[in-house]
Structure 1
Amino acid sequence: YGDGEEEKLQKLLKDIKPDHVDPQNRIGTPDKLTVTLMEHQKIGLSWMQQKEDTLNGAILADDMGLGKTIQSISLIITRPSNDTLHKTTLIITPVALLKQWEREVERRTRPDPVTGEKLQVFIYHGTAKKQINSYNDLLKYDIVLTSYAVIGQEHRRHFKTGIEKANGNRYVDSRDDYVSPFFGTNTAWYRIILDEAHYIKNKVTLTSIACCRLESKYRWCLTGTPMQNSVKELQSLVKFLRIEPYDEERKFNRDISIRLKNNDPSAMRKLQALLKAILLRRTKFSKIDGKPILSLPPKTITMERFKFSAAEQEYYTSLETGIANKVNRLMRNGTLGKNFSNALTLLLRLRQVCCHRSLVERVADEFLDKSRVPKKRIEYCQLLTPSSKERILTTASFTCPICMDMIDVRNLMFFTPCGHEICKECMPTYFIESTTDTITKCCTCRQAVDSEKMADFEFFSMLYKHQMSESEIEDFKKDFKSIFDEEVEEGEPLNTILDKHGNSWESSTKIDECIKIIQNVKAEFPTQKVIVFSLFTSFLDIIETGLEQQNINFLRYDGKMSATARNQAILDFTDDPNYEVILISLKAGNVGLTLTAASHVILMDPFWNPYVEEQAMDRAHRIGQANPVYVHRLFIENTVEDRILELQKKKREIIDNALDEKGMQKISSLNTKELLYLFGLNESGNRAV
């Protein structure tokens, strides 16, 4: 330890206290609230106030549906700023939740009894941004709401315009003297709240960097999933919170991450001690005063395993064998790293064929389209400016400026010639909503771009990262083609299987089982509704046909729809009894939605991240649900889906242990001496010998 680290660590550990507050000592419901706080919310408000006094903020990690929003609003009401130059609370949230936050503030607060004034709220998004010229314009508001995408864009414009011009990119915004109201030298918020704070879990994304660079007195993270894939994701939140000494990645890794990886028996207790100091988490099953926090109807999760039909099994085995042979060749030639993104793509194909073989066949058809592969796709990559090529090559990871998800390299697209990124799922919607033609403006730099001249990372990587020639790319295309050709009948058009109006549509094992579940629900619970989740929007397209054939009324919700259309779909599903089913893409609908109109959830395909699936389930299992909730997770036996389940299990082990309530309670019962010893310090706060 060095640089005063002992003192910082000692201060942090002294902040570990039991969560329980006796009823007579709890803060009551603030007068300005129109609702009465539940007991766990009163305790949460007391805890938040205490953390602002000692650490200037922390992580509220209550389970989904326990009222993180109302606790935060209560904090804003009870602890306003007295400094007119730093009076505003900035709330950063996914774009889909901006209006929801605004509604909650409006509905849940009442005017000041003395002044008659209500909290003033401004949403800095879309055309409303034009009303703001500087940070001073935002000081008239008590709360400013904005999205992660906007913060990323503001950061890029404020800090990077000059850099890009220096690198020769003449297409950036000409206002190179732009001063963002979020990053100016005089900007200092009173409080910053990150809602769904796991959006900054990846430290190298622009979103994470931008949020960490914001200045404020108090800083909060709200998330039901502070860690999803690994413990390292927690460090990004700690860095934003500026909680010493673990806001420095090196120290976090030294004391926690590396020790966990090396199975150090003290590592888990250190992690739990850190969490106990900076995080409050209650689940739906937690008890206060001997009673459960919530009395929700039960949630039953069933793992429903099925076997392929003979034809499906033959196709899967053939595809799996072809992929295995391809990967083995890459390994023998020492070129697996060079083709790693392509290997991941092949793995994705195995996951897709577990849903429906046409997902793979359609991808193959698109990949082999002579109008685009490889000549056109190479030409589009060559449209990129030299500076944009350099930026792409030196960027470790990419975040979509629309949905704010980290972009998998298989879904990574670039506008040309500026080279700014967008994911494949958001790209169609962006062009549809932005223009009536193929030409619109890049969502980052506002340069004119063409939807028909988008560069994709796969070919960019082959061209510029691995320096492959056009003939080498052509050879890879032929190799890729051979994997799909074995099971395609001679002369059969690959896309006819998706023809909704012909006789060629065919079902799959998963679609058959999905429809059986829906029909059983209709028979046993005629008034109850069903949510069907899938990762693949193209799979939802195919499911639609099966539902139509069975005369099942359904709605759709995915990222390709406009915000207005998505909102209308939720309203119709909630209010119209004629709609029995809603099909939702897991990426678009796993957070922020309340779908208590449904009490049955079908997860069509497993995701690497088990917490994303849990968020999807809890769209239905939350406050307002009157019926027991039944979740059906569908799997195909003896396939890649078995291995996904194993990976999910491994991810859960460390994270669930770290957040275990009983383990956290044991940590809070340790005295200061024991806690210091855990971190190798004596009672004086010096390194123990």
Structure 2
Amino acid sequence: FGEHFSRWISQLPDWVHVDLDGELQTLTASAVSGSVRLEAQEVDRDWFDLRVVVDVQETFLTPEEIQILLKARGALTRLEGKGWRRLRFDVSEAEDQQMARIGLNPADLDDAPQRLHVLQLADPAAERFLPAEQVALVRRRAEELQARVTPDVPAGISAPLRPYQVEGFHFLAYLSANRFGGILADDMGLGKTLQTLSWILWLRGRSPEEAGRPSLVVCPKSVMENWRSEAAKFAPALRVRVMSSGESVFENVGAADLHVMNYAHLRLLGDRLTEVRWLAVILDEGQFIKNPDSQSAVAARGLPADHRLVLTGTPIENRLMDLWSLMAFAMPGMLPSRGRFGRLYNAQRDPLARRRLSARVRPFLLRRTKGQVARDLPEKIEETILCELEGEQKLLYNAEFKRGQQLLLNLKTQKQLAKEQFQFLSSLLRLRQICCSPKLVNPATPEQGAKLEGLLELLESLLEEGHKVLVFSQFVSMLELIRSALEEQGLSPYYLTGETEDRGTLVDRFQADPNPGVFLISLRAGGFGLNLTSASYVVLFDPWWNPAVEAQAIDRTHRIGQQSTVVAYRFLIKGSVEEKMRELQRSKSSLAEQVLGEEKFSQSLTLEDLRFLYS
């Protein structure tokens, strides 16, 4: 009643006079003014409960009544025999800014304690509100922390780390040295996997006990193979096991140093994963647990591990509430309860909400954008994302592959091959289409295919980071499938094929659009003559016989006027004709120079090449 009445009477025009009797008069009285002090009580090693102490000038209020007003968080409250009262903190703008630096909001202070880490209280801004003896205690505890942890990159890492990647590895080592969990939130393409592999090797090298314990990576299905390939490339001594459907992680768990599973496995196995005490648990693409009530989030929080790490490219500024779930996994109890978190960090109500939240998570989160580390980056980064066939897509591929092998058995000479070239080109085309999506050869199938699922996951991450992305495919029908899938998610991608008219206007719109977006482009129609420098990410959805054509596609954005490092992703099906095409490109440079497209492919393809493709 008090709040509604107070709001109503404040909106009356000046010429309306209202007489109030008794306690109703207090509804228009000035708020009780109070100054703020804080008291910190150490409740665990490096953790403090912060309580609010309010000093008020009004001597007619008892300490109990002050606590009642404090609990009301600024709302009108009826006090027995003293009418309606509300508490207003006497906080200057400078003090508000100082409180924001330690993650507090005066408008939401109440009698409930807030748990803060010593690194948060060690900010000089906290000294203004804490007693001197407690400031001294906080300083001692902060000095005891290992703030500078700078170990050498493990000898087992076979590639040099860029300077910012060394800093990232040191950040992860600092987390572990202080018993923290945390979040590595670098932009896509900056090498979070390499930094994490370096950290895992460092953890395993600290003691024989740790060297004997396995670690677990949970990631989207589309990047499971990427973990295996990146480990083989950068940490070859690390034994990696990628879990497949129907396989049990508990069979010979000690036979691998790093187990990789997807979020569906995590949901299905649930509590059974708690039977293993993991050295480290890493959630790759951590936004998959952004809903704290989801099965994945609940299962992840229950995993027993000495060290916890979230990898994500999504900055905290975009979705304040989602961060709660990530931190509930990485650092349980570091943030307040979910309901309280929503009140404390309401960006619409509090313009300093992001700053307050950043202050709370700063010691546990590291984020670098491409722009921030540009001096350490090459102009162009190319990465391969390997996907694995499953279900109907795998059955279709195997059937067509066996048909091609049967044709090959009857060939003995190059002359025979020339007569059967159309058959083989048709078979190779179908294999490549199946790799893109089973819908290209069987439109009735409900399966999207491994690569399309992986692309949608990648685009979600890139768009959340605020980036623009070019997606190239040689199959217009595949671009249609991608466009339909994006439209089902409420997105409106740009679209360019050989049938597109007024290409210049379309390109200008994409270039001028300030929002993140996706441009779907036919490799033949858009591989040259376009300037698309507003995008800095490129996806080659399917391989082309001639690598020069792929390079031209990447160069649509990697050209004069580009201010950012360009990251190009190639999607390939593991162990398929696509992967062998890439090997053929590298091993037969003369073929790459001669073959300009499928129409000339048969002129350069040898019987030996064909046997390799169908091996």
TM-score (norm 1): 0.39
Which is higher, the Rg of structure 1 or of structure 2?
A: 2
Q: Which has the higher contact order (CA 8 A, sep 6+)?
A: 1
